[in-house]
Amino acid sequence: MTRGEAVLNPHMTVSVLGVRHHGPGSARSLKDELERLRPDIVLVEGPPEADGLVELAKDPELEPPVALLAHVPGEPSRAAFWPFAVFSPEWQAIRYAVEAGVPLRFCDLPAAHGLAPGADAPAGEADDADAPGERGAEEGSGGEAADGEPAVRVDPIGALARAAGYDDPERWWEDVVEHRGDTPFQVIAEAMAAVREGHVADGHEARREAFMRRTIRRAVKEGFERIAVVCGAWHVPALAGSPDGAAAWGAGLPSGKADDALLRGLPKVKVEMTWVPWTYGRLAAWSGYGAGVTSPGWYHHLFVAPDRPVERWLTSAAGVLREEDLPVSSAHVIEAVRLARSLAVLRGRPLAGLAEATEAVRAVLCEGDDLPVELVQRRMVVGERLGHVPDSTPMVPLQRHLREEQRRLKLKPEALDREHDLDLRKPLDLERSGLLHRLRLLGVDWGTPQTSRSKGTFRESWTLAWRPEFDIDLIEASAWGTTVPAAATARVRDMAEGRAEPVQDASPGAGPSGPGARGGRRNGHTGTGGRGGTASAVSLATLTGLVERCLLADLPDALPYVLDALSARAALDGDVTHLMAALPAMVRAQRYGDVRGTPAAGLATIVDALLSRICVGLGGAVTGLDDAAARDLLGHVDAVHAAVALLQDVSAPSAAAPSHDAPVASAEALPGEVSGASAGTGGRGASGVPSEVLSRQASGVSGETTSRDASGESGETPRRRWLAALRGVSGRADLHGVIEGRFTRILLDAGDLDVGQAGTLMSKAMSAGHPPARAASWVEGFLSGGGLLLVHDPRLLALVDEWLTGLAPETFVDVLPLLRRTFGAFAAPERRSIGSRVRSLGVEDDDTLDEDVDEERAAAAVRTVLAILGRTETA
Amino acid sequence: MTTVLRAHAEDQYAEELAVLAKDDDRVRPPGWKLSPWAVTTYVLGDGDRITPKYIGPRRIVEVAVATLATDRALLLLGVPGTAKTWLSEHLAAAISGDSTLLVQGTAGTAEEAVRYGWNYARLLAEGPSREALTPSPVMRAMAEGRIARVEELTRMPSDVQDALITVLSEKTLPIPELNQEVQASRGFNVIATANDRDRGVNDLSSALRRRFNTVVLPVPATAEEEVDIVSRRVGQLGRSLELPPALTGLEEIRRVVTVFRELRTGVTEDGRTKVKSPSGTLSTAEAISVLTNGIALAAHFGDGVLRPSDVAAGIVGAVVQDPVSDRVVWREYLETVVRERQDWRDFYRACRDEG
């Protein structure tokens, strides 16, 4: 059949040009060869779906490295890339076709087949380096070697290189093809014919080649006269037929019928294609899945440099080193060039290559130091180039919106890691931060937040690095919305409602929650009903983390939904530890809200409600705990305590007057619920203190008298509520020692108890009525977080000392591990001074310290200290 | 056999050099006895008649030879015991057939060692003349077109180091007293070695540094490579010292190398256990001397078989350089790592006995 057509048009020629993918030498000679042949159609190995995209190459805005991206709409995880660098022969073919105005068609097997779920060689495709597998990069430079079924890993280049006595096929290619300056395509075809002799293509490879032949046939039938086919060298024999060139095209090849049979009934799927920017880093093999090109920067240089590649290369290497303030003179470069040359001669290579250049850089420019060599390697050998696609490229609206945002906010995507310090007080930086946080919510980690060096909350440090696969993530995320904020909002809503997988939580202290953390607990509150409903899948801590991230990302529209979900979840979650784990993040969020100018009123309500629930539920949560659970709870108590302190500092006014216009439905119902429930706590409590709590909470006025820092403001501060709750609980007899000790300490530190009261409590805890182990754990709880107290209060020290010395020898041994743990956590100087105090215990008079202070002389110092603390001296 | 304790490289390997020179039909740089290819082969061996002298990355030797061929001076850097001197001696032997033009850098090296001195008797009797001049090895190398070697360059005082600058850049050595100069003949070059562990002793001036191409010699990359180096050298040394042949188990060599490597890198070979590193360098060269010493012990005092007890004393001596801190390190290593190894029992006991 094909013969018949050849007869019809005797001038028709088919030139099959075998290239090495991403080979600069191939690219250059291909360019010349195309100029010489002047084909009226160019066929290139690649997915035919991209035919319509070729026109875009006219646009100078389309800057390689770029890749053709094929993805299945609605199923963005099924995608494949075909990367092109400026030194890729395929790219040069595209350039030629566009400039000469001749049609260009891609002739490989359509991506529609490769990406179809039921592709008949699904297992093979994933491994096949040459096939567009799942997100796999196409076409390694040695990728042609891996062509065919994975079981039959044929390596034609390796075979040729071994025949030529090279151990490294790459270097053979470089020497024989890249460094020759001209590539005799006829010779390559013959060599490949020799290598492929006896090889029968089967499976995927056979289908690909059949499709290529079919495309050629179609072009022939359409009457094109000079057809140029650009394909991997490996395919040449299968496409060119008899190598002698005497017979017309098609001789010795399978018939069109056979090819059609082979291609019948392939699974198919709808595929969309577009151009996406690519990076050299991604082309390089050493950064994950690449195209197997280890030195794209070098290849780029080889292709771009008009002459004297080694000289130019070493000169730019010197430039790179100078930028880093390493002294490199022109004399260095001269010597480096000489060394590279003589090394090449020594190694018997026609021209110095990358290996020689690198040795010269190391021995001369870097004076043997490997660190700057790494720098050259990263900056030059791999290169930091990121491609660019024009606006007219098919894009999902989300990508387009992001491009506009990037332009507006002057944040350019770059391949190299770059540090950005944002000052959130500036509107531009604030918006940038918002954009980055939103992208993170969408799963596009363009920026990674760094721990900021400065303490201020208005500063944020980011590391930005654009990776090509973000385009895929954006396409995936475009299901949520057409703009970045809209998509992020929708995503957050779905996450809050438990419909979407939460993106991994970045907030550092979201806190451990989850049933596993409370192994030994018997708590009536766990397992109560209300776990059903929409929010059940999302844990409270996740939700609070989400709130924090919403604020960071400036998504006010999403916040109500999350807060709704949160308050619903908090109301239903009877487990106080969950609530306690959630509170710190919320408080942090509230603080951020202040810095960023987001209205935090709704949040304040939630925090307030959460704290009330915690205060109420604390009584039930602290009983009947074993050692591990008690310690676990203690961590939460400490976290909440710290958070509460923050709360008072930052938002006392807003907490005192919660705005009820916040879109939180259940918030309004809370106060009544609180008082009712706290009545329950009070009833459960054994001592008389809780009644005070009860009355105070119910009335809502400050009836507190013991606190020193009563500043006369109306309404109770969260801190006082929290302390009251602690006080209410701490008197109970069934507490774990560690918890009671800790509570006592917190109350003492807060000034809620004076030293005398604490001493009483301590002596009670230490008294013989308690088993020694409990007393020891009380001491542990009391002293955890620093032993300075013992240094400064001889009475407490005496109590501990008395108790310790009074222990029977065997009980002493029993409590020793606990004591060791407690005291071992103290800093060495603290331990030392405690020890010296103990030594002089009986000798020292308790009150000497206080009496010796000369008030008048101390006044100046007191003033200074108060100034440092930021307080004015009050009468 | 000659009576010298240690023959120069060009004498010891005269046969190999002759074989290479006979077959060498490649272009030789002016003044070179062999072509660069043959020099590389001489150093790395060809797996047949030529024994490998340096075992390590091929590229290092290639860069070194190519450097010398470009008439740039070569600076070999590395921690002690990485075969810097060894490599420089063999390069000089292969290139000029003479490895004896050597300047040893010490704190007391005077400028005369690099330039020239005077025979004062003649100077007084005849006045200044070329005959009254005593040339330094560098001056002789220049005149004869050979390789001069400078050992421990950074140990020399800076002003003496800088005497090399004119030699290296102008390739000439002026003698102002006679209003003459010695111009270097083709084939002249300098190989310097320096220890980069105590860098900063007398750091090279950048003017001098710029005249050198620097090659850093690495410690052996793998245990196998190091065992190979050690066993090869131990064999050679034993022969040249005419030690009675002792049965040297590869096992014992491997053990010593393992101990040295683990202490040097601070982690056990399986990467599981962290160990402290002692203050000594624990180079391959030291492992070689420990084993040679052990063989001597085994041959003269033992039963002719190298046993753990023969190497134990040497190892302890090499590891424990600082009597206080290193002893703790060694003890810890012994108790945490060596004791755990089932087939190292006898070695453990021997080391325990050593203290």
What pLDDT, in 10s, does the model give residues B196-254?
A: 766 557 788 888 888 899 998 888 888 888 888 888 888 777 777 777 666 667 788 88
Distance from CA of A811 to the nearest CA of B (A): 35
pLDDT at A212: 87
CB contact under 8 A, A370 and B216: yes
Distance from CA of B305 to the nearest CA of A (A): 42
A327 touches chain B (CB under 8 A): yes
Write the pLDDT tens digit of every residue in B281-323: 788 888 888 888 888 888 788 777 888 888 888 888 888 888 8
Whole-angstrom distance, CA of residue A334 vs CA of residue A340: 10
Q: pTM of the prediction?
A: 0.64
Residues of chain B positioned with their CB less than 8 A from the CB of A338: 70, 72
Kindly list the strands in the beta sheet with A459-464, ordered across the sheet, starting from the edge strand earlier in the chain.
A418-423, A459-464, A447-450
Phi–psi pair at B220, nearest 5 degrees: -55, 135
CA A115 to chain centre: 27
Counting one residue from chain A and one from chain B, the pairs whose CB atoms sit within 8 A come to 55
CB contact under 8 A, B72 and A332: no
pLDDT at A59: 81
Q: Which contiguous run of DSSP H or E holds residue B75?
A: strand B73-78
CA A177 to chain centre: 41
**% of chain B residues with pLDDT over 90:** 23
Q: In a mutagenesis test of the A interface, which of B60, B61, B214 is the best target, namely the one with the most A β-carbons within 10 Å?
A: B214
pLDDT at A527: 34
CB contact under 8 A, A370 and B70: no
Distance from CA of B215 to the nearest CA of A (A): 5
Q: Which residues of chain A have pLDDT under 50?
A: 1-8, 120-154, 246, 286-290, 502-536, 650-714, 844-848, 875
CB contact under 8 A, A363 and B215: yes
Whole-angstrom distance, CA of residue B310 vs CA of residue B297: 6
- Token pair 């945002």: residue: A405
Residue B28's closest chain A neighbor by CA? A346
CB contact under 8 A, A364 and B213: yes
Strand pairing class (A13-19; B73-78): unpaired
Q: Which residues contact A443 (CB under 8 A, 6 or more apart)?
A: A473, A476, A477, A503
Give the Cβ contact number of residue B121 at 10 Å: 9
Alpha-carbon torsion A250, A251, A252, A258, what sign?
Answer: positive
B57 touches chain A (CB under 8 A): no
DSSP B145: T
Which amino acid, residue A848?
Answer: T
Residue A338's closest chain B neighbor by CA? B70
Whole-angstrom distance, CA of residue A323 vs CA of residue B246: 59
How buried is residue A274: exposed, middle or buried, by Cβ count under 10 Å (0-12/13-18/19+)? buried
Alpha-carbon torsion A505, A508, A509, A514, what sign?
Answer: positive
pLDDT at A64: 82
Considering only CA atoms, which of A723, A795, A811 is closest in space to residue A762? A795
Residue A357's closest chain B neighbor by CA? B63
DSSP B305: B
User: What is the Cβ-side half-sphere exposure of residue B272, based on CA atoms within 13 angstroms?
Assistant: 4
B296 touches chain A (CB under 8 A): no
Whole-angstrom distance, CA of residue A585 vs CA of residue A582: 6
CB contact under 8 A, B72 and A343: no
B69, B75, B206 ranked by CB distance to A342: nearest: B69
pLDDT at B136: 92
A347 touches chain B (CB under 8 A): yes
B66, B77, B216 ranked by CB distance to A346: nearest: B66
Residues of chain A positioned with their CB less than 8 A from the CB of B58: none
CB contact under 8 A, A343 and B62: yes
Residues of chain B positioned with their CB less than 8 A from the CB of A359: 59, 62-63
R_g over Cα of chain B: 23
CB contact under 8 A, B213 and A339: yes
Residue B41's closest chain A neighbor by CA? A346
Distances (CA, A) of A131 to A45, A46, A134: 11, 10, 9
Cis preceding linkage at A65, omega within 30: yes
Whole-angstrom distance, CA of residue A721 vs CA of residue A728: 10
Structure tokens at A808: 């029977």
CB contact under 8 A, A363 and B36: no
A809: phi > 0 → left, psi -120 to 50 → alpha, else beta; which?
alpha
**A594 in Cβ contact with A694 (< 8 Å):** no
Q: Which residues of chain B have pLDDT under 50?
A: none
A501 touches chain B (CB under 8 A): no
Considering only CA atoms, which of A171, A173, A181, A261 is closest in space to residue A214? A261
A345 touches chain B (CB under 8 A): yes
Whole-angstrom distance, CA of residue A803 vs CA of residue A566: 47
CB contact under 8 A, A346 and B69: yes
CB contact under 8 A, B216 and A329: no
**% of chain A residues with pLDDT over 90:** 1
Strand pairing class (A104-106; A41-44): parallel
Residues 357-396 of A with CB under 8 A from B: 359, 362-364, 367-370
Considering only CA atoms, which of A588, A721, A608 is closest in space to residue A658? A608
How buried is residue A768: exposed, middle or buried, by Cβ count under 10 Å (0-12/13-18/19+)? exposed
B282 touches chain A (CB under 8 A): no
Q: Which residues contact A245 (CB under 8 A, 6 or more apart)?
A: A186
pLDDT at A247: 54
